[in-house]
Amino acid sequence: MLRRQKAYRRGFRKMKFPDIVHGNVLYNHLFFGVYLKKKFKIPFVVSEHWTSLQRENLPQTPFIVKKVAKIIGDFADEIMPVSEDLKISLQSLGISTPMTVIPNVVDSQLFKPKENSTSTDFRFIHVSSLIPRKQPEKIIQAVISLKEKGYRVSLEIGGSEICKNLQKLIHAKGAQKYISTFGEIPSHEVAQKMQKADAFLLFSIKENLPCVLVEALSAGIPFISTDVGGIRELKGKSNGILIRNNEQELQDAMQQMIEKKVVISGAEELRQFAVNHFSVNVVAKMFENVYKKYVKQS
């Protein structure tokens, strides 16, 4: 950490003097933002999206991490959590700094609704780092169970090279004909895959405000997700189905969506929700409004 702070100072001397410092995540690297505010009176704001600072995760978060977050948070002029849920969590740490919720952004020009499809399968998609808390194996098993019950379903799952570890499960169940995997791919390929899907699956143990769900909505597809973090704030009236961390609930929700037993908005409505709340222009304007509070206008 000390070497990093030294490097920041060396780099700062080569920079044009800034009007404002905008940091990300209340962690020890942002002591440099505190230093700049104290020494040069430069306004200091912070975006926060760290799952470790969510209420349900705070009991497992080390004391020193929470202490550092509070110290830096108290020095900041304003904090911009990505969800109301995270805002409440930060306040529970005793941080009294003004907060404005500014959500994650989506490239709504890239993530657009699909064209009409003639596929007879209901196609699910999951994109993530595939780390354990995403529970990709349980997503795969849910699709296999539905297939065994006679449902016409398919799944594309990927986002990381570790998806190779999931292929053993897929082959062991003989599911390779209707479940395919992919590695890390650029955003435009993710958008193309979403355009071919009918719904997005997320079965995470913990999340904050996942960009991937915002992208799915912008692409015009609903989601099924565990009700964790700020995901409830994405649901709207009929953007998807929220469930507990329960495999049977996951299967039930998938069946309901396939059988159209739940009211879900159409593709254009889903996209409009994403554009209205998470598009570049909307989020940029929210940041601009915060900056104007602290930057002197010429």
Same domain for 80 and 12?
yes
Using the predicted structure, report yes or no on whether residue 298 has a pLDDT greater than 70. no
Domain-embedded: residue 232: yes
Residue 21 CB-half CA count within 13 A: 25
Same domain for 53 and 131?
no
Same domain for 75 and 59?
yes
CA angle 198, 188, 125 (to 5 degrees): 25
Q: What pLDDT score does 118 carry?
A: 67
pLDDT tens, position by position, 172-200? 999 999 999 999 999 999 999 999 999 99
Domain-embedded: residue 111: no
Same domain for 185 and 283?
no
Using the predicted structure, report yes or no on whether residue 221 has a pLDDT greater than 80. yes
**How far is residue 97's CA from residue 85's CA, in Å, rounded to a whole number?**
16
Domain-embedded: residue 110: no
The total number of structural domains that make up the chain: 2
**How far is residue 47's CA from residue 78's CA, in Å, rounded to a whole number?**
9
Domain-embedded: residue 116: no
Residue 182 CB-half CA count within 13 A: 14
Task: Return the bridge partners of 53, or none.
Answer: none
pLDDT tens, position by position, 40-97? 999 999 999 999 999 889 999 999 999 999 999 999 999 999 999 999 999 999 999 9
Same domain for 285 and 267?
no
**How far is residue 34's CA from residue 75's CA, in Å, rounded to a whole number?**
6
Q: What pLDDT score does 296 carry?
A: 82
**How far is residue 49's CA from residue 83's CA, in Å, rounded to a whole number?**
8
Domain-embedded: residue 38: yes
Q: Which two tokens stand for residue 247?
A: 């495999």
Same domain for 161 and 245?
yes
Same domain for 288 and 267?
no
Same domain for 267 and 216?
yes
Domain-embedded: residue 181: yes
Same domain for 157 and 270?
yes
Same domain for 91 and 194?
no
Domain-embedded: residue 112: no
SS (H, E, C) the chain: CHHHHHHHHHHHCCCCCCCCEEEECCCHHHHHHHHHHHHHCCCEEEEECCHHHCHHHHHHCCHHHHHHHHHHHHHCCEEEECCHHHHHHHHHCCCCCCECCCCCCECCCCCCCCCCCCCCCEEEEEECCCCHHHCHHHHHHHHHHHHHCCCCEEEEEECCHHHHHHHHHHHHCCCCCCEEEECCCCHHHHHHHHHCCCEEEECCCCCCCCHHHHHHHHCCCCEEEECCCCCHHHHCCCCEEEECCCHHHHHHHHHHHHCCCCCCCCHHHHHHHHHHHHEHHHHHHHHHHHHHHHCCCC
Task: Work out the pLDDT band at 236, boundaries 50, 70, 90.
Answer: confident
Domain-embedded: residue 70: yes
> What CATH number does residue 50 fall under?
3.40.50.2000
Same domain for 183 and 272?
yes
What is the span of the domain harbouring residue 61? Answer: 2-105+279-294
Same domain for 206 and 97?
no
Pairing of strands 21-24, 122-127: unpaired
